[in-house]
C-alpha cells in the first residue's frame, strides 16, 4: 500500500512493521530527530495504519457482498436445474446432480409462541450495570475500570 504520510526512515526502523511495536526504545529515544518530529512521525504512522485497516475493512465488505451475490446466483441456478431435470438424478463423468427432501419450520414473525417453543439469549446489560456501579451499588463479578485511549487527528 502507498503511504499517505512521509515518515522519517530512522523512525520507521525503530518500529516492527508486522506488529507496530517499538523494537528498541533506547534507539528511539537516542534518535537525532527532535522530539516533536518523533512524536509527529509516530502519530502519523498510527494514522497510516488506521487508514490501511479502514481500506482493508471496506475491501472485506465489498468481497463479502460479492460472495453473497455469487452464492445467490448459484442457488438460483441449482433451483432452475432441478426444475429442468424434473428432480430426477443426473450423472456424468464430471458431475452428479441428485436431490434430497428436507423439512424446515417457518414461523410467522408476528406469532406469539408459548414459552416451551422460545429460546432466550443471555446478555449482560452493561449500560444498566455501569449505572448501578456508579450509583454505589455492588454488582457481583462486575467492576468499573478506567482506561486511557489515545486520539490522533
Rounded CA-CA distance 123/147 in Å is 23
Instruction: Give the pLDDT band (50/70/90) at residue 3.
Output: low
The three three-digit cell numbers of residue 152, written as one number: 490522533
Query: For position 4, what pLDDT does the model report?
Result: 57
Tens-digit pLDDT profile for residues 63-106: 999 999 999 999 999 999 999 999 999 999 999 999 999 999 99
Rounded CA-CA distance 107/43 in Å is 53
Query: For position 27, what pLDDT does the model report?
Result: 74
Domain boundaries, the chain: 9-133
Instruction: Give the pLDDT band (50/70/90) at residue 10.
Output: confident
Query: For position 1, what pLDDT does the model report?
Result: 45
Instruction: Give the pLDDT band (50/70/90) at residue 2.
Output: low
Spatial neighbors of 28 by CB under 8 A, at least 6 apart, are: 11, 14, 22, 38
The alpha-helical segments, DSSP class H, found in the chain are 9-12, 25-29, 35-85, 126-134
Amino acid at each position: 500500500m502507498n503511504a499517505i504520510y512521509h515518515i522519517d526512515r530512522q523512525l520507521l526502523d525503530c518500529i516492527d512493521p508486522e506488529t507496530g511495536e517499538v523494537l528498541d526504545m533506547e534507539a528511539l529515544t537516542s534518535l537525532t530527530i527532535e522530539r516533536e518530529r518523533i512524536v509527529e512521525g509516530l502519530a502519523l504512522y498510527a494514522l497510516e495504519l488506521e487508514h490501511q485497516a479502514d481500506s482493508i475493512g471496506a475491501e472485506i465488505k465489498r468481497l463479502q457482498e460479492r460472495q453473497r451475490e455469487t452464492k445467490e446466483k448459484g442457488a438460483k441456478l441449482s433451483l432452475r436445474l432441478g426444475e429442468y431435470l424434473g428432480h430426477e438424478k443426473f450423472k456424468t463423468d464430471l458431475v452428479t446432480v441428485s436431490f434430497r427432501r428436507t423439512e424446515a419450520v417457518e414461523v410467522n414473525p408476528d406469532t406469539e409462541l408459548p414459552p416451551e417453543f422460545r429460546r432466550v439469549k443471555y446478555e449482560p446489560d452493561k449500560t444498566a450495570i455501569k449505572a448501578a456501579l456508579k450509583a454505589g451499588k455492588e454488582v457481583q463479578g462486575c467492576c468499573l475500570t478506567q482506561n486511557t485511549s489515545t486520539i490522533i487527528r
